[in-house]
Structure formats: structure tokens, C-alpha cells
Structure 1
Amino acid sequence: MQDQGNQLPKTARQFPGNEPDAENPFKLLDLRVTPPKTWAAGVPAVMAAMKDLVEEKTFFRGNFALLKMNQFKGFDCPSCAWPDPDDERSPIAEYCENGAKALAEEATTKKLTAEFFKKNSVVDLAKLDDYQIGKLGRLTEPMYLPAGATHYQPVSWEQAFEKIAAHLNALASPDEAAFYTSGRTSNEASFVYQLFAKEFGTNNMPDCSNMCHETSGSALRPTIGIGKGTVKLEDFYDTDVIVIIGQNPGTNAPRMMSALAKGKKNGAKIIAINPLPEAGLMGFRNPQAVSGVLGDGERLADLYLPVKINGDMALLKAIELLLLEFEKKSPGEILNQDFIREKTVGYEEFVKQFEKYDLNTLATEAGITPAAIVEAAQILASKKRIIVCWGMGLTQQPNGVDMIREILNILLLKGSMGIPGGGVCPVRGHSNVQGNRTMLIDEKPTDEQLDRLEKFYGFKMPRKHGYDVVRAIKAMHEEKVKVLFCMGGNFLSATPDTTYTANALRRLNLLVCVSTKLNRGHLVHGKEALILPTYGRSDKDIVNGEVQMISTENSMGVVQHSKGVLDPVSDKLINEARIVCRMAMATLGGRAVVNWQRYHDSYDAIRDDIEQCIPGFENYNKRIREKGGFYLPNAARDEQRFAAQYDYRAPFTMTELPDNRLEDDEYMMATTRTHDQFNTTIYGLDDRYRGVHNERRVIFMNQHDIDKAGFKAGDKVDLFNYDDGIERVAPLFVIVAYPVPEKNTVTYFPETNVLVSVNNVVKESNMPASKYVKIKVRRHSPEVFKKVDEMLYRGEMQ
């Protein structure tokens, strides 16, 4: 392993003052733009994955691990939550390019020791961009930043837990602490984590789901009785229509393209709905097939609809309007009247609303021609087995909950719920984000869940709902939360309103981060801070001399085991479950009711008790050891049993069209990730599918908008948002001409999270609406840097 010592990359910008900066340095690189790709994967994906292994100095170690990733006796990919096949799996490459990049970062031979932190101050580290920080290497031992200190310093595990316990026990109320969870946490660690929070006395459990798919759960639970998808992977192989809306499989879930190609080969039609013509929606070159290496690959989308940002609702209503008209002309041939009568409620009221709509108006609102909408409706009209997939292109819209319910309305009309080859499929992001929620990581646990826990453990559970991510940020800002414990993730860079969030974090008494690598979230901290290093998914998780297995849940509700294969980078790492247990024992001491030592010593003991507390986990320890794991119960999928409050039927939902009007000088902005990125982790500086190389500070604009504003491609601009009457600035971006709808723009996160107001949230789910941000674009002025710095360090810029 290589100690990084004092080898910091060079950076161009110096920051004023002694506080670490909350954002990437405002600097431009050498941007190169090429034509966007019309297909994804292929040989370039293989080469890119191998390049990352070389750069991380882990070619042989990493390739050994890749052969075990997503295999029946291997470990679960630390990247996305797309399911593994239940039947055959590729013996050499059951992973995608981004999974290989995630593994390369985890299996790196570069490591950060105490000597590194001794030589590099927090402020100096903050001068690096997120890409540079992420490439420094793996964390190897606990580090502590005392109040007023400039450098992290080593601390023993015992001292770290003593400090955490002292801070927690000094709080006036348990609700002055919050416990954040990222999607990479295992089922076992998640269960003991939420249990500790409850025994400590709070439901303050903000979660990464609060920023990605909380909208999906908020939409689905009251309508179909479960906040998850209702399809299995095999349904993609044998279906009639697959609709992909607000989701980019080529980057966000590349293995999904294999399922799409298989379904297409078996006769499925694919409709893609997205403001950007993403490569992964258009074509797929399978690098494990001759046609993918030597040929043109496979076309995916039969119909692409370039909807305006938040024009999806108008499009969905237009499709429904046409389906209802088709049904009038051919009664009983378009809609599934038996299903509607037996399995739904509210149909008559739902139909009546369409008296006020007409196709042309809806088409204008959607930004789609009437002819294209008719084509989409005709594809759906004669089909019953329909799967609709979505991602954060929908969930991060202010009316995202309504739009998902509108999707459900279409499927209810067609009787496409709870049948083979039909249903809803929210495509989750991080590997175990769905499992976290199943394990009761939830700031709003139900009385039924709390009753089961209370009966089993024998102590009184806190009943008051806790803080989600947005509410936690505001509570920290108001000093109502004084300790934040982060189980993985990069809280700062993942959240909205970067400067407001940074100011909130600085008001904490203690920030604790359980991590595998350094990130910007460690550099913007409370009065004191701790970094606790842990195992990666590919590492051997060694307890009492034996390699252990954990379990995770994928997007299709399959619970499977995961067992690391690599020697850890340090003998000072502790697994996440043990970190929680030792924190619990140090904090609760003799007043603990839970036998934390038992959980500390055995994952099997944790699983035995999960079985008693969470439905669907009967014989957990036995079934988790079976090949491929097991499916959790899903009454909507398996029995067509939907919402209990509607006598287990599903309601049609009444929704409204949004008002998306913009001022003449305003644009609608959506944030997205590059192909060289997973959530806040930056693997590289290229977005090769979109033709952007060696730069992240870009804004995609329609050529007509560029001309009308007097700009040209390549111009440098500053971006402004004025929500809440506050000026937010993201300086120094480069215009890239791209086929996005007029008045729409797209930028990368986290660079433009600063423009997303903490109050710009999704109705009902309270998620940041990062795909719906009104901005103004002005020619770049060097004076903006001075203005930004003044606002940042006076705390005026939220």
C-alpha cells in the first residue's frame, strides 16, 4: 500500500480566511467537446474500467475482486442497486463500467495515514476539487479534529467512542442528535443503527433516500400499499412495453441495458421520455457479445419523447386523454374494465377531469408534438404488459409525487399492475438504499413498526417523527441539532443549498463521519469532528478471525448475501455494525436494554432478531445463505392487493398541471451527474456519452437560447438563482450547445447544488427539487468571485 504523504495535487484558487470552503474550486480546465454518442457501453466501457484500475494502482488486486463482484458467492457491487439475474450470471463480468470504477476506488492501494493528515491542513485539503480529494486513497485509522485545530490527528477507537458518548450524553434532549445513513450500509448495520437511535431516544434519522427516492415511496405507499417497485428482473425479459421516464440507464444503472436489450429481442417496445437524448436510451453495445464488439449493437428506444423539464405531467395526461378517446371508439379493447371495476376506486371522477383538457394544449405544455404523443398512446393502446421505470428526473420535481401517481393512473387503466411483465419500477440509486428503509431507517416509523420493536425489546420507543435531510439542515442551522453522526456518504456535497448547509454544519458541536475515503464532507465540520474508517463492500469483514457476510436488498426486493474478498488496507478498520454497537455501549452504558455486545460479536445474532422484528425475514440466517437469496413479500406484485384504506384496491389520483412559466430572462435548470460519476463520487473529468471532456463546470443550453441571449458556445457565464428573495451564485461555467428543449438547461451536481434552495422541495416527500431550479445566466465577470467570497464568509449566501 502507498502512503500519500504530502503529495497534494496543485490547485489554482486560494480561499480567504481560515475556514475550509464548501465548494469545488472555481477554476476551468481545458474543455474539449465532441459529438454526443448514440449508444452506450461497448469496448470503450471496458477500456475505461481497466484504466481506472491502473490509475488506482490496483490492476491485479482489482481484477481479482471484479471476478467475485455480483456473483452468487461473492460480494454485492458498492455502486447502483440494479438487481443481479436470478438464473445465469456472467462468470467473468457480472458488472458494468461504473461498478468497476467504484470497485477500483475501493480496492485502491493508495492510503491515507496519520502522517498525511499531519502534513496537510483541513483548509489546504479543501482547496482541492472533489475529484482530487477522492483520488487520495483509503482511510486507515480514526482521526480527530479538536476544537480550533487546523489538522486532523490520530485517535484510538476507545477515545473516539468516549468523545462521541460525552457529546451525546451532554445533550439537553436526544432530539439534539441526528443520525444520517447512506445507501451503502448493510442490512445488519442499518438495523442496529436505527435501534441505537431509538434506544438513545430519537427518530432523527435523515437518510439518502430523502434526496433520491423518498418521492417514490410517498407516491406509492398510499396508493398500492408498498413504497417499492412491483416487478422482478425477469419481467423485463417478457413484456410488451417498457417506458423509461426521467432516468438514464447508460450512466445510472448500466446493467439495466442488458435487460432492456433482452426484452427488446423478445418483442418489447421501448418508449424513452427525457429532456436529454441520452446514449443509454438510444443504443447498447454489449461488450460480451460479438455484435457489441464488432457490430452496431442494439437499438433500444422505439420512440424518444424530448419532454420539457416538468412537462411530464402534461405528457402523461395527454396519453391518458388519447387512451380514453380510443376506448370510446373501441369499448373494452383499450382499457381493462374488469381490473378497473374490481381492483380500483375513483375511476368515474378521474375520467371526468379530461373534459377540461385538449391534446394541443397538453402537447404545448409538454414540449412534444401531438403526432408523437399519438404514437406513444397507440403503442400502449393495444398492450397490457407495461412496465414504467423512472429515476430522479421525476422524483426531484416539485410535483414528483403527483407525476408518479399519474404513471400509476395509466397502469391502472390498462390493468398492468400485479401481472407478469407489468408494473412500476423506481430505479434506485445506491446499492442498499432500499434495504436501509426496510431495516427501519426512517424518520417517520409507523406505529405498527414501533409496536413490534417495543414488544420484542421491552423499552419504550420514541414516537415523535424525526428530521429528514432538509429539516435536519434547518435544525442544525437553528442549533436545534448539535451532533450529526453520518453513517457513510458525503452529506455536504449531496445536499442542496451548499453554503446554507455548510453554515449549518459549522454550528454543530460534533460531526462524526464513518467513511472509507476522504471527501469534502470531512472538511466542512462542526466545532469538533471525527472520521471513523470502515470496510468497503469488497473488503474481508473479519470478526473473531473469520470473514463474515452481510446482506443487502436490491431494487427488486431481493435480499442476498455479500462477502468481501480483499485484504483490508489497514488492521485498524472496524465494520459499521461494530462501530454502532461500541458507540451504543459507550453512550448508554448500564442503562442499555439491548444486548449490544451480542450484536457486536455476531451478524447472525443481528439477523436472528431482524427476523423477529421485520415481516418477511423468516428463517433469515438460513435463507440468506441460499443461492441468490430470497424475495421479500410484495402483495401488490404477487396478489394484486393494494392500499388497505381502500379495501386493498388502488385509487385513481386526481392531479393538476404545474405552472412552469418563466420570465424572459429565466431558464429552468436540472442537475445531473456525468458518466464519470456516481452520486457525489467523481471518477474522472469526462462525460463521454454527452461529448464533454476534461471539464465539469458546463451548462448545456439549446442553440436557439444561446443565439437569442447573444452568447455563443464556449462563452464563460455565471449562474444565479433568486428563490426566497436570496441571490445564490454559481460562478464560471462554460456554455455547451446541446439538444435540450428551449428555455431548459442542464448542469452537473454538486457544482450547482449551491443554486438549489433548501426550500425548493417536492410536495409531500420534502425532497430537494434539484431537477427544477429557475436560474438566470449572465456573462462571466471576475468581480463575481469577490462577491461570492464576501457572501460566503459573512454567511449571507444561503
Structure 2
Amino acid sequence: MQEQKIAFYKGPAGGWGALNSVKNTLLHHDIALKGAKTLLSANQPDGFDCPGCAWPDRNHASTFEFCENGVKAVAAEATARRAGPELFARYSVRELAQQSDFWLEDQGRLTHPMVYDPASDHYQTIAWDDAFALIAQHLNALPSPDQAVFYTSGRASNEAAFLYQLFVREYGTNNFPDCSNMCHEPSGSAMREQIGVGKGTVTLADFEEADAIFIFGQNPGTNHPRMLGELREAHKRGARIVSFNPLRERGLERFADPQDKLEMATLGSSPISTHYFQLRVGGDLAALRGMLKHVLEQEAARGGVLDHGFIAEHTTGFEALAQSLQDEDWELLAQESGLSEAQMRAAADVYLGADKVIACWGMGITQHGHSVATIQMIMNLLLLRGHIGRPGAGPCPVRGHSNVQGDRSMGIWEKPPAALLDRLQEVYGFAPPRAHGMDTVEAIASMRDGQAQVFFALGGNFAAATPDTYETWKGLQRCALTVQVTTKLNRSHVVHGRQALLLPCLGRTEIDLQNGQPQGVTVEDSMSMVHLSMGMNPPASPHLLSEPAIVARLAHATLGARSRVDWLALLGDYALIRDEIAKVFSDFSDFNARVAVPGGFRLRNTASERIWATASGKASFHAHAVPVDTPTHRARERVRDQRVFTLLTTRSHDQYNTTIYGMDDRYRGVFGQRRVVFIHADDIRDLGLADGDWVNIRTVWDDGQPRQVDGFKLVAYDIPRGNLAAYYPETNPLVPLSAVAALAGTPTSKSIPVVLEPGQAPG
């Protein structure tokens, strides 16, 4: 058993530690030689796209850009381990449910379609045709299509996502909860209202020109390691990099590039952030208001600070924003942000000293109740000096999973625009449903309340990724049928409906043969680049189907002769699917020819052209007050006899979303364990406890429902007082289903009011 210890890390992100981790990962999955060959095939014109994060490649036509977590994702998919019928014969579902999330995924690739047998409590093999017939039977027996839920993970390709939304809408519902609902939904909601586009406007080339890069609520060292290369180069040429994060994250401090021979040979490293502001959890909106207030004060004092020409020609709402900032109180800003007035002014001075500014953000911004308001304050900052629609500047929401942005481009959205539905009707001749469907939180509530009866997941790990874990599990277990399209075993497969199916699919690293010809799929990265991905490895099992094949065969089985689409004909050549995409989405016109160019093509972004697809035809400023009635504020009013903390949930470095690669979090100094809670040393002392003591964590919420997780080790850490951090999915049970972002519905997993009570080590 691996030793459990806390040993704080003093080295840079990347470097020899990353190379050693890669070696251990490849050896663990028994693919050292195969893995090295696979990695060399990634991101080449005839290779596959990394199945990890959505950060773009500097040169997509080159060999794999080294990324520790990308290697882990590739290795996990290309593993030599297999979870075949023998595994399911050996373990009942009850026994599998007792295993850890790491153990479940570590069994390897699924090899056969499986159906749950309630009599034996085991999964058993099932023929593909029988599996599709079973799903079709359930779907066609529902009194209403709206009693079915169709979840989508960001790992699905554009081709699979397009077929999926087309099938489900022809079936009759817009119930498309997806992983965007749990991560960057606030980014789209905020930006569409302000600039008419819900995507970032920058490209990698802009990072070469930016004078200042602001990073809000993001930890690229763990979540997007390749981004560190861009930040490193920007720092070297003199750009200012300003990070706002409650935790001291090593990847935002120093980085050693494993591909830099000199740096590796000399044990050198490069600094990343020039300024690091440790604000309180959720304090970003107050900090941004402080920065904006300073900018306007400087304009009043010396003039020439704002881009008045841009503001007059391209924006609305400036006067209301200016008035709200003029009346703002510095004391309130300092109290709610956790930063001093001097720190907020210093951050604003970096902004004022830069001709070209990029603002990046991640889920440290989006998973708060006031996330939409915070993002609109970031956008206000960019708009004041015209930092949108010109080189070296703009907003950069950094997405997570590799094609989460592409899925939304393909129409995976529970609130589809009327123009998309009109186009589907025009092209295919059926009337798509017009009523909005359910997002993730609404779908959980519907299943829990016995309304939704069929749950179908195109990838992902819904049972582990979602908030209010036990409520989610109740919902899944009350379904008549749950179906999981997947590559490996995970928690969602042991928390299932009365009937359940596991449908194993090809991974992105694997060769997809249709009619004897290898097929490529496309994905869209965080910067709207669309490119082909071609698998290189033999399939893990001859019984696997591709995601497009699973969707098309399910549509054929469910809709039958009443469908207006020849589903099976589209499978012979995925170029035919791309032709269909081009018929529906004008941005994908001439799709096959454009994506055949090495590196692919970039989708049009009207905001980057200073064309504002908004109601007014202009970009807009939005004034938002500092929130002083958050769940933590209210909890502290109700609970006077205990210290109320604000908890943020986070990933470890050995983790991607809910996939646990190992039990270490190297950069935070945690080894062999995950049930830890990071806390300021003075807060430990004030609780009368000691570093290393065990506690239980209990949510303070106003619905009276108990939410508690037990057996977490206190780890003294550099984090603002009154704040805590702990890993998900272990702490997802603490996130109430009703804790969602205003105007976006995203679970507020980064700002949960909790109390700590003495506990014991897990048995």
C-alpha cells in the first residue's frame, strides 16, 4: 500500500517530476513502448487529438506537445488492462460499489456491451442489437419524450454530438444536460449578453503579443499544463502575468519545461506570475470592482486612460457602470475581496501599463452564485480600453474537457436558439421541439422526483461529477433504465436504474474502421480551432463501437421508418456526417475541405471582428454590486456558536475531472491519500485542533437537509483564513442541488458554507 504523507513541494511545475510521473504512468498501464509510439502520433495531421483538456496546440501538425496530464489521459485510454465479462462475473454490482473510484477505472478498458441482471446483481454480456432494442423499447413506451434525459460529456466528437442532438430532437425533446452546465455555462451566459458570442476571442498568436495576462480562478499547472508554455514565453519577453487565486499554486509560480534541454540539464526553471494576489474564495468580483474603480479614478485625475473612441462607437452602458463605481466603498471591497486597497490598485496599474491585455479564467470563477456577474466585470475591464477585437488582447475562458466547446457548437444545448431549430426543420423536414429542456441540476431533480424515467449518457461519469451526490444517486436509481456509453468502469455504472446498460466505445486513440476504411472525427478547442483526429491503436476489443455508430444505430432502432434521416448510411463514411453538419451550420460550410488542411480551421468569431451580435448591435457594460448576501454570509448569521468556513472543491494533480489517475497531488505535497482538507494554520489553532487531526465537514444550508462527509485530515496550507479546499468528487455530497449560479444554473462547488467538527480517520 502506498505510503500516506504530507511533504510540501518546493520545486517548479513540470521538470523532472513530470517526466518521472510520465514514466510511472506508462509502466503502470503496461504500455511503456506502445505508449511512447502512441504519444508520437498525437496531434499530427494523421494522428489523434489528445483526449485530455481543450487547450490548443501550438502546432497541431507537429508531434505531441509534452503534457504530463495529457500523457496520463492517453495512457489511461491505451492501457493494456481489460475489464471484460470475467470481471463482472467475479464481482456483483454491490461489491463493485464498495471499491474506490480509482480502483474502478484502474480495471482497464471495457470489452463487451453489458446489461444488468437484477436477479444475480451482476452485469452480463448482451448483443449490440439487443441493447439497442431494449433502449428503443423504453424510449418509445414513455408517455412523453420529455421523460428521457440525454447527457453529453465533453469527450464526444463533433460527429457524434451532431448525430446525438439530431436524433434526440427528432425523438422529441431538448433534454440535453451536459458538462457545460457544470463548468463554463456562466461564461457563455455572460459573454453572449455582452458581446454576442459565448466563446473567447483570442488565439495562441495573441499570447505572443500580449503585454499583460490576467488569470482568474485557474490552475493551469494541473488542469491545462500546456498553457504554462505560453505563459513562460510571455514572461520571458517581459509580459506581466497577474494571478488571482486563493491557493498558492506551483504552476502559477514557476515552471520547468520538460522539452527545454538546457533547463532540464541545469535544473533550471522560469517564473510565471509577476504578481500573485491571494484573495478570498469568491472575492474576485469585489477585486475587479476595485480595479475598475482605480482605472476610472485615474481617468478623472489625468485623462487619456480610457479608449473613448471605442466606448462611444462600440458600447452601451458605460455611464451606469461609472456611476456605480464612483459610489463604491473601498472598505467593503477590501472586506469582501480579501485584498487591500493597495493590492487592488497595484493590479489595476498593471492593466493601465499594458497596451494589449488578455484575461483568462476557469472554474474558480464560474462555480459561484455570482459567476455571471464576475465574468461580466472581467469583460468590463477589457472593454474600457478596447481590449477586444485586436491582436494580443481579449477574453479567454479556458474550457476543460477536449471537446466541450465543440459539443455546444453542434447544438448540444437544452436552450437551443430558434434559428437552429428552424434550420433543422428546413433541412430534415421534421418539427423539432421548441420548449427548453432540462439542464444538469434540473435533470437530477426530475429523476429524483420520479418524473424522468430514462437516463442516457454519451460519456462522462454523471454519478460522481454532479452535486448533492446522494440526491443524484436517488435520481439515477429511480429511473427505469440508465445507459452509459463509456470506455472504462466508473461510479456511474454501479449507481443505476432498475435496468442498466454499459455500452463500450472506441477511444480517440483507436482506429475506427467503417466499411474497411479508417475514419477521423473532429474536435474544437478552447480557441475555436476545429481539427481532425485519427486513431492509431488497434481497438481494445473487437466488440467496441464508435460513438457515432452507437448514436446512429440507436436512432435507427428507436425511430425506425418514421425518421427523416438515413442513419445507417451516414456511418459508411464520416465525411457524410460532416456534410450534414455543413447543411445546418453555416460556420462549417465546406467542412471536409477545410478540416483536411493540416491544423484545421478556426470558426468565425464575430466579436473578434468587433461585430456585436447583441440586441443593441453593440457590446455592453454591466454594473454589478458586490454580493453581501451569499450563502456564507447567511450561514454566519444563523450559526454563531461555530466557525463557518467557505469550502472550494478542487482537483488533485493526479486527476482529470472525475478520473483519478493516482493518489498523489505532487504540487500540493499530498501523497497516497485524497481525504484531506487544506486550511490556514491559524484557523487550525483557533479550532483547538492540530495539523493532521481528523475532522468531519458539514454543510450549513437553509433547507434543513443534512449534508456531511467524514474522515478528512487537516493540512495546514497557504490559503486565506476562513477558506478551505478539498478534492472532489469526495466532497460533492456537500454541494446542495439548489446551490446554483444566478442566470446560469451551474453548481456553486467553489463556495459552500461549512463547519468542521472533530472526526476520526476512515476505517
Q: TM-score, normalised by structure 2?
A: 0.97
Selected match of 1:601 from 549, 568, 572: 572
Partner of 2:278: 306
1:49 aligns with 2:28: no
Q: Is the CA contact (8 Å cut-off) linking 1:675 and 1:689 kept in structure 2? A: yes
Residue 566 of structure 1 aligns to a residue in which SS?
A: coil
1:653 aligns with 2:625: no
The Cα shift of 1:88 comes to 7.2
Cα distance in 2 between the residues matched to 1:183 and 1:88: 23
Partner of 2:457: 486
1:697 aligns with 2:670: no
1:737 aligns with 2:732: no
The residue type paired with residue 727 of structure 2 is Y
The residue type paired with residue 54 of structure 2 is A
The Cα shift of 1:377 comes to 1.2
How large is the Cα RMSD of the aligned pairs? 1.4
The Cα shift of 1:292 comes to 2.9
The residue type paired with residue 401 of structure 2 is H
Q: Is the CA contact (8 Å cut-off) linking 1:389 and 1:426 kept in structure 2? A: yes
Selected match of 1:720 from 678, 698, 720: 698
Residue 587 of structure 2 aligns to a residue in which SS?
A: coil
| Equivalenced residues, count | 752
Q: Is the CA contact (8 Å cut-off) linking 1:270 and 1:301 kept in structure 2? A: yes
Partner of 2:685: 707
Correspondence 1:227-306 to 2 at 5 A: 227-293=198-264, 294-306=266-278
The Cα shift of 1:267 comes to 2.2
Cα distance in 2 between the residues matched to 1:138 and 1:532: 12
Correspondence 1:511-526 to 2 at 5 A: 511-526=482-497
Correspondence 1:378-417 to 2 at 5 A: 378-417=349-388
Can you list the C-alpha shifts for 1:120-164, whole angstroms capped at 9, x where unaligned?
111111111111111101000100003444000000001101101
1:161 aligns with 2:132: yes
Partner of 2:468: 497
Q: Is the CA contact (8 Å cut-off) linking 1:71 and 1:94 kept in structure 2? A: no
Q: Is the CA contact (8 Å cut-off) linking 2:242 and 2:273 kept in structure 1? A: yes
Q: Is the CA contact (8 Å cut-off) linking 2:54 and 2:403 kept in structure 1? A: yes
Partner of 1:769: 748
Q: Is the CA contact (8 Å cut-off) linking 1:667 and 1:743 kept in structure 2? A: yes
Superposition misfits of 4+ residues, deviation over 6 angstroms: none
The Cα shift of 1:371 comes to 2.1
Q: Is the CA contact (8 Å cut-off) linking 1:176 and 1:481 kept in structure 2? A: yes
Partner of 1:352: 323
Partner of 1:20: none
The residue type paired with residue 652 of structure 1 is F
The Cα shift of 1:114 comes to 1.1
1:684 aligns with 2:674: no
Cα distance in 2 between the residues matched to 1:772 and 1:72: 42
Partner of 1:316: 288
Cα distance in 2 between the residues matched to 1:173 and 1:608: 31
The residue type paired with residue 154 of structure 1 is T
The Cα shift of 1:73 comes to 2.5
1:39 aligns with 2:39: no
Correspondence 1:562-641 to 2 at 5 A: 562-637=533-608, 639-641=609-611
Partner of 2:413: 442
Partner of 2:651: 673
The residue type paired with residue 645 of structure 1 is A
Can you list the C-alpha shifts for 1:252-303, whole angstroms capped at 9, x where unaligned?
0000000111122222100000000101111110011134312431101000
Selected match of 2:726 from 713, 727, 747: 747
Cα distance in 2 between the residues matched to 1:493 and 1:292: 39
Cα distance in 2 between the residues matched to 1:198 and 1:78: 27
Q: TM-score, normalised by structure 1?
A: 0.93
Can you list the C-alpha shifts for 1:709-749, whole angstroms capped at 9, x where unaligned?
00111001101013221111101000000011000000000
Q: Which runs of 5+ in 1 are unaligned?
A: 1-9, 11-28, 786-798
Can you list the C-alpha shifts for 1:302-344, whole angstroms capped at 9, x where unaligned?
0000010011111000001111111112211x21111111111
Cα distance in 2 between the residues matched to 1:591 and 1:176: 20
Residue 645 of structure 1 aligns to a residue in which SS?
A: coil
Cα distance in 1 between the residues matched to 2:285 and 2:509: 42
The Cα shift of 1:87 comes to 7.3
Residue 588 of structure 2 aligns to a residue in which SS?
A: coil
Q: Is the CA contact (8 Å cut-off) linking 1:317 and 1:362 kept in structure 2? A: yes
1:326 aligns with 2:295: no
The Cα shift of 1:57 comes to 0.6
Q: Is the CA contact (8 Å cut-off) linking 1:242 and 1:386 kept in structure 2? A: yes
Partner of 2:639: none
Partner of 2:738: 759
The Cα shift of 1:358 comes to 3.0
1:171 aligns with 2:142: yes
The Cα shift of 1:72 comes to 2.9
Residue 616 of structure 1 aligns to a residue in which SS?
A: helix
Q: Is the CA contact (8 Å cut-off) linking 2:485 and 2:504 kept in structure 1? A: yes
Q: Which runs of 5+ in 2 are unaligned?
A: 637-641
Q: Is the CA contact (8 Å cut-off) linking 2:514 and 2:571 kept in structure 1? A: no
Selected match of 2:514 from 507, 523, 543: 543
Residue 644 of structure 1 aligns to a residue in which SS?
A: coil
Selected match of 2:612 from 642, 655, 670: 642
Residue 530 of structure 1 aligns to a residue in which SS?
A: strand
Cα distance in 1 between the residues matched to 2:65 and 2:389: 28
Can you list the C-alpha shifts for 1:383-411, whole angstroms capped at 9, x where unaligned?
23100000000000110000000000011
Residue 286 of structure 2 aligns to a residue in which SS?
A: helix
Q: Is the CA contact (8 Å cut-off) linking 2:465 and 2:657 kept in structure 1? A: yes
Cα distance in 1 between the residues matched to 2:458 and 2:552: 13
Q: Is the CA contact (8 Å cut-off) linking 1:611 and 1:619 kept in structure 2? A: yes
Cα distance in 1 between the residues matched to 2:289 and 2:460: 37
The Cα shift of 1:781 comes to 5.3
